[in-house]
């Protein structure tokens, strides 16, 4: 894949013995689209759209390797062979577009979902995040060995299904392996706790198991936090050491994230925060290993990703929400059409939804589960009037035009955007202006006639737009959170 616009980003890279066509990888983003752990057609469509959109390699959302503990009810699993056929379908759909795919292997430990009937949660030690209902039970050494084997079984199954490798999740003080690594949650006094070497033991045993059973051509990538940014947590120095040990253990790539799941915003940065949030860690770690290093965290524009690679901060950019928000991110960027990319605003509606068991959704992309090419042409082309050029009106006008209707969009303001123009005013909300620009630009391309500075009454509509289908998309009212209402009174 070549691009004169972003030559570094869209140059190939070798991970282990596998060549990947470009350096935009998609990090794990849970969708809640699986059915009792099984791959669904919706999941296949979701990942196929990103593969078709040009991503080099997709790391899927968490995939649990044993049956007792569920992370989110809609997550994928691979704890027995019945899961293989679904994965075959998924791998084939992604490979069709020259994209590689790797499941993120995971055990949720103290973060398992509270499904009725779930036994007491297990963990490295008797400590867990503050929101846990009760202290978890420390996993025994025999259970560690069994779980190591289960990670290996899961990798072998995935290999049979045709995936290109696996990512082992050991970041964010999250789940079992992230928990063992961090001094925040590993308080063991046996051979699996105490020193950093001992806390790494379980992870290294899992890697050895997978490598032995899946062979040298199967990619093994480990996700780590380059720094937990937390008092008493893992530091960058620790993680340089860990990365070197991982390289020695035969890992093919290190995915440097940062922070913890508990320290809000540290692992999944919010809107208005610095882009490429963990690049300082990946840059430092890259100096100490010879395998590819990926960076992640609010990288949502192609020029930033290009600069990170050119500047030596990483070999690979993981771009999660950017590819969620626009499945065609890569193709558009590679072709030099970055202005046509649907901008992610960092609002985290996607995350809020899945944490409460809902299907993945996106504030800016109503087509997040599939790609917009899925819209059928209308059986009969009609005249359509959309009143209100806020985000809903512009989306309605665009989709109607895409389906072949003749669309007029009218707004009483002199500019498009509606209430969103006001919403973009506070600090950290600047990115909303990009959504307005993006939506308006699309309208012109789709042939929508826009009329501004015109207020229409019901009589005006009946007289001037007789026979039109009418969409009323005005009248949005801002919601003021209770805390702001209180402030305004004081
Ligand atoms: C909706 C959502 C689901 C996520 N699911 C996972 C997951 O299953 N495993 C994981 O390691 N990280 C997960 N993450 C974190 C992302 O992999 C990524 O580190 C984070 O979103 C920052 O990258 P971005 O700004 O490019 O999205 C998730 C993030 C979001 C927003
Ligand atoms: S919901 Fe918000 S943060 Fe998530 S992908 Fe969409 S715009 Fe980005």
C-alpha span between 60 and 31 (Å, rounded): 10
Which amino acid residue places its CA nearest to atom 2 of ligand 2?
347
CA of 351 to the centre of ligand 1 (A): 8
Q: What ligand is nearest to the CA atom of residue 72?
A: 1
pTM for this one?
0.95
CA of 297 to the centre of ligand 1 (A): 9
Token pair in block for residue 385: 């009037």
Q: What ligand is nearest to the CA atom of residue 354?
A: 1
Burial 6-26 (b: 16+ CB within 10 A, else e): bebbbeebebbebebbbbbbb
Q: What ligand is nearest to the CA atom of residue 75?
A: 1
Which amino acid residue places its CA nearest to atom 6 of ligand 2?
362
Instruction: Select from 320, 322, 359 the residue to mutate for testing ligand 1; criterion: most ligand atoms less than 8 Å from CB.
Output: 320
CA of 185 to the centre of ligand 1 (A): 21
Please provide the distance, in angstroms rounded to a whole number, between the alpha carbons at the two ends of the chain.
Answer: 58
Judging by beta carbons within 10 Å of its beta carbon (0-12, 13-18, 19+), is residue 235 exposed, middle or buried?
middle
C-alpha span between 189 and 489 (Å, rounded): 54
pLDDT by 10s per residue, the chain, length 490 = 788 999 999 999 999 999 999 999 999 999 999 999 999 999 999 999 999 999 999 999 999 999 999 988 889 999 999 999 999 999 999 999 999 999 999 999 998 887 888 999 999 999 877 666 778 999 999 999 999 999 999 999 999 999 999 999 999 999 999 999 999 999 999 999 999 999 999 999 999 999 999 999 999 999 999 999 999 999 999 999 999 999 999 999 999 999 998 887 788 988 888 899 999 999 999 999 999 999 999 999 999 999 999 999 999 999 999 999 999 999 999 999 999 999 999 999 999 888 888 899 999 998 887 666 667 899 999 999 999 999 999 999 999 999 999 999 999 999 999 999 999 999 889 999 999 999 999 999 999 999 999 999 999 999 999 999 999 999 888 787 777 666 555 4
């Amino acid at each position: 894949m070549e691009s004169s616009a972003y030559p570094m980003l869209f140059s190939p890279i070798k991970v282990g013995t596998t060549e990947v066509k470009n350096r935009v990888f998609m990090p794990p983003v849970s969708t809640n689209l699986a059915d009792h752990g099984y791959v669904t057609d919706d999941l296949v469509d979701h990942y196929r759209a990103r593969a078709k959109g040009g991503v080099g390699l997709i790391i899927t959302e968490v995939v649990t390797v044993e049956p007792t503990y569920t992370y989110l009810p809609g997550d994928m699993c691979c704890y027995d062979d019945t899961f293989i056929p679904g994965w075959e379908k998924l791998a084939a759909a992604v490979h069709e577009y020259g994209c590689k795919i790797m499941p993120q292997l995971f055990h949720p430990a103290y973060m398992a979902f509270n499904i009725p009937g779930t036994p007491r949660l297990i963990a490295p030690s008797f400590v867990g995040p503050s929101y846990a209902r009760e202290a978890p039970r420390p996993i025994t050494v025999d259970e560690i060995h069994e779980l190591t084997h289960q990670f290996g079984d899961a990798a072998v199954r995935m290999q049979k299904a045709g995936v290109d490798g696996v990512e082992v999740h050991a970041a964010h003080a999250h789940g079992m392996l992230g928990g063992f690594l961090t001094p925040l949650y590993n308080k063991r006094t046996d051979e699996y706790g105490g020193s950093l070497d001992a806390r790494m033991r379980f992870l290294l045993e899992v890697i050895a198991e997978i490598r032995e059973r899946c062979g040298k051509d199967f990619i093994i990538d480990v996700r780590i936090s380059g720094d937990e940014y937390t008092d008493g947590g893992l530091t960058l120095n620790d993680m340089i050491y860990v990365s070197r040990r991982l390289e020695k253990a035969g890992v093919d790539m290190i995915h440097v994230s940062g922070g913890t799941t508990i320290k809000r915003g540290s692992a999944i940065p919010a809107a208005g925060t610095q882009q490429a949030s963990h690049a300082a860690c990946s840059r430092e770690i890259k100096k100490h290993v010879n395998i590819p290093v990926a960076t992640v965290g609010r990288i949502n524009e192609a020029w930033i990703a290009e600069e990170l690679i050119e500047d030596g901060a990483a070999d690979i950019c993981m771009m999660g929400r950017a590819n969620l928000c626009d499945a065609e991110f890569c193709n558009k960027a590679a072709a030099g059409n970055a202005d046509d990319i649907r901008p992610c605003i960092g609002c985290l509606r996607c995350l809020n939804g899945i944490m409460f068991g809902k299907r993945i959704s996106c504030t800016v992309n109503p087509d997040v589960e599939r790609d917009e090419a899925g819209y059928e042409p209308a059986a009969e082309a009609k005249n359509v009037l959309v009143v209100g050029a806020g985000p809903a009106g512009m989306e309605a006008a665009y989709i109607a035009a895409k389906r072949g209707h003749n669309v007029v969009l009218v707004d009483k303001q002199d500019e498009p955007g509606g209430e969103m123009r006001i919403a973009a005013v506070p600090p950290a909300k600047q990115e909303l202006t990009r959504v307005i620009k993006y939506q308006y630009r699309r309208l012109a391309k789709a042939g929508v006639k826009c009329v501004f500075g015109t207020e229409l009454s019901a009589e005006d509509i009946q007289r001037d737009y007789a026979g039109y289908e009418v969409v009323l998309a005005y009248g949005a009212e801002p919601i003021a959170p209770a805390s702001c209402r209180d402030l305004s009174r004081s």
